[in-house]
Amino acid sequence: MIAYTLRRLLLIPLTLLGIMLVNFTVVQFAPGGPVELMLSKLQGTNVEATARLSGASGAETGQTGRPRAPQGQGEQGAYRGAQGLDPAFIKEIERQFGFDKPAHERFLQMLGQYIRFDFGKSFYRDVSVVGLVIEKMPVSVSLGLCSTLIIYLVSIPLGIFKARHDGSKLDVASSWAIIIGYAVPGFLFAILLIVVFAGGKYLSWFPLRGLTSSDMEAASLAARAADWAWHLVLPVTALVVGGFASLTMLTKNSFLEEINKQYVITARAKGLTETRVLYGHIFRNAMLLIVAGFPRALVGILFTGSVLVEIIFSLDGIGLLGFEAVSNRDYPVMFGTLYAFSLLGLVLNLISDLTYHWVDPRIDFEGRGG
């Protein structure tokens, strides 16, 4: 596995380069960059209209979305979104945002900074991107860890139960329930929870937004912890409903595969109880792949599932930070978080693959040309 690990480590920089290049290129063609946003605020105009009016200018410079200084007031083809502003002032705004350089120079400069893990400062908050991520990380980590742990704690016993009662009415009914839960998008289920349980229309059992109540500053540690858990109920529920399906079916199939093996038949022939056979022999072998998949499951929860849930419940985490960065065209936050979490995701995926081999040496990625 050493050669396989080295190949995967060497592929990480190339994968990161591809991710950053594709996203940087897409952003160059997206209307309404940070310069247009700033000028629209100064002029009191709409940023999308400003971006459309400056489209011809951006095409000429090769950087769609970057404004060009106007040639004159009312001149045909001039950058009308900037009428009334001094061209020198517009140039200064471009310089402050770094748009006074060609796109390829900005991309190479960004890569050089990111290699040193220097992600710069937010355009609008005057705070370092690293500081913002550290500030928002506890919310996303809380959601990710709680959701993943609950999924494992529920799916594994449910999968074992389904394996022991394979083909029964309870097995079929639970399979239908799991499939339906998997088919409903998490954000749609979150809206349903708000409508039913957060004062949307019926009940007001849980808070609508945030992770803390306004009157918890002077409360005891136990009261704050209980308040935090109370706020987490609906967001975590929205995240875990769709996560039961794959893990439950994986657990069931793993146990069904082990149940019919020779060592199980031998254990039963020795007179061991069914419970002793299940938890003393089958459980240890069937759980290898399930436990090894924990890092990969955590990646999925942290980086894909919580974004919309954070936005819906107004949770001040990484997902909401990314949404606000896109809305405000805050490029340092957008690209800094993309780089950091892409790198973390690639490393965790490698750890997950190595864990598979560690818990079951029969899984050999290198032998399969991985």
pLDDT digits (tens, 9 = 90+) for 124-154: 777 888 888 888 888 887 888 888 888 888 8
Contact 110, 24 (CB under 8 A): yes
At residue 59, the pLDDT reads: 38
At residue 305, the pLDDT reads: 56
pLDDT band at 44 (very low <50, low <70, confident <90, very high): low
Task: Answer whether residue 206 shows pLDDT above 70.
Answer: yes
At residue 71, the pLDDT reads: 38
pLDDT band at 52 (very low <50, low <70, confident <90, very high): very low
Task: Answer whether residue 251 shows pLDDT above 80.
Answer: yes
Task: Answer whether residue 159 shows pLDDT above 70.
Answer: yes
- In order of their start, the domains of the chain are 130-359 (1.10.3720.10)
Task: Answer whether residue 285 shows pLDDT above 70.
Answer: yes
Task: Answer whether residue 298 shows pLDDT above 70.
Answer: no
At residue 56, the pLDDT reads: 38
At residue 79, the pLDDT reads: 40
At residue 18, the pLDDT reads: 92
Task: Answer whether residue 365 shows pLDDT above 60.
Answer: yes
Q: What is the pLDDT of residues 317-333, one digit of tens each?
A: 887 888 888 888 888 88
pLDDT band at 209 (very low <50, low <70, confident <90, very high): confident
Average pLDDT across the chain, whole number? 76
More confident residue, 292 or 126: 126
Stretch among 170-174, 208-212, 329-333 having the lowest mean pLDDT: 208-212
At residue 309, the pLDDT reads: 83
Q: What is the pLDDT of residues 181-194, one digit of tens each?
A: 888 887 888 888 88
More confident residue, 362 or 197: 197
pLDDT (average), residues 343-358 = 79
Instruction: Report percent pLDDT > 90 for the chain.
Output: 2
Task: Answer whether residue 78 shows pLDDT above 60.
Answer: no
More confident residue, 32 or 310: 310
